Structure 1
Amino acid sequence: MLNTIRKGGKMIPTSSEKNYADLLIQYQPKLIKTEAEYQRALSIVEGMMSGELTEAETMLFDLLVFLIETYEAQHYPMGKSTLVATMESLMHEFDVQPATLVEIFGSLELVREIVNGEREISKSQAESLAKLFNDLSPGLSLTAKDFGK
């Protein structure tokens, strides 16, 4: 809601919305060090997600998300994806049966060994897997690196 005030003969726009400094004073964001601070920050961010934000609120939102992500990276690290986890996830997501992968790996036995983490895959096999799953879902952009190669 914009209002104007007269200052020195000029009409200057003012706003009843809080500016960024006001929001910083109100919320006092800081490096998150405890679970309670983490939960508080999450609560604030979740509340902000339910409406349209002003530019100042968007800046505060971005700062809080950064602080949350930093805390999560330190306290809830995600392990590096493994070939087995990637394969299981993609096969489940796209309902790919082991028999479908025989064309890439040569035999059902090799497919089982790879899916069970008992055997490595080659770069060309990784490239073939990426192509297979990208063809199943054009929105994907998998590469051989997603399969460890």
Structure 2
Amino acid sequence: MNIKPIRTESDYKRALVDLENVFDAPKGTPENDLAEILITLIDKYESEHYPIEAPDPIEAIKIRMAEMDLHQKDLMSFIGTKSRGTISNILNRRRPLTLPVIRAIGPKLGLSFDVLVKEYKMG
């Protein structure tokens, strides 16, 4: 098999087919080495041609809540409020995230400060 850079959509599709043929190769074999090289080339092409944008802070919070099976009441305890309306307003983009809220929920949800301080559209 001739390994070359992936420059076109045709090259990309060919590389995916080639990867399918060697994907389950045992470690330490030339086929496994080829699979690792193809994965690297495919990843580079996909990151350049099919970038995935990070979600805005509110979407990131909602995604992490779903992943962790959390509810609004859980966020209430994280930020020390008894008002369900506060969390609802934040999640519905009627109230902005504040620095104290970011500091309280970021570590609990495993979301970095960089993700939570991005600008986002208010509703």
TM-score range, shorter chain: 0.7 to 0.9
Q: Deviations over 1:22-68 (max 9, x none)?
A: xxxx2x22222333321221222233221213364444333322221
Q: Is the 8 A contact 2:19 2:39 kept in 1?
A: yes
Structure with higher Rg: it is 1
| Percent identity (aligned) | 26
How many corresponding residue pairs? 116
Q: Normalising to structure 2: TM-score of the pair?
A: 0.73
Q: Which runs of 5+ in 1 are unaligned?
A: 1-25, 134-140
Q: How far off its partner does 1:128 sit?
A: 1.8
Q: Which runs of 5+ in 2 are unaligned?
A: 119-123
Instruction: Give the equivalent residue in structure 1 for 2:121.
Output: none
**In the aligned structure 2, how far is the partner of 1:75 from the partner of 1:105?**
43
Instruction: Give the equivalent residue in structure 2 for 1:131.
Output: 107
Q: Normalising to structure 1: TM-score of the pair?
A: 0.62
Instruction: Give the equivalent residue in structure 1 for 2:17.
Output: 43
Q: How do 1:3-42 residues align onto structure 2 when only pairs under 5 Å count?
A: 26=1, 28-42=2-16
**In the aligned structure 2, how far is the partner of 1:114 from the partner of 1:142?**
16
Q: How do 1:30-109 residues align onto structure 2 when only pairs under 5 Å count?
A: 30-54=4-28, 56-103=30-77, 104=79, 106=81, 107-109=83-85
**In the aligned structure 2, how far is the partner of 1:29 from the partner of 1:61?**
11
Aligned: 1:145 with 2:121: no
Q: How far off its partner does 1:79 sit?
A: 0.9
The structure with the greater share of residues assigned to strand is: 1
Pick 1 or 2: higher relative contact order, CA cutoff 8 A, min separation 6. 2
Q: Is the 8 A contact 1:32 1:71 kept in 2?
A: yes
Q: How far off its partner does 1:98 sit?
A: 1.2
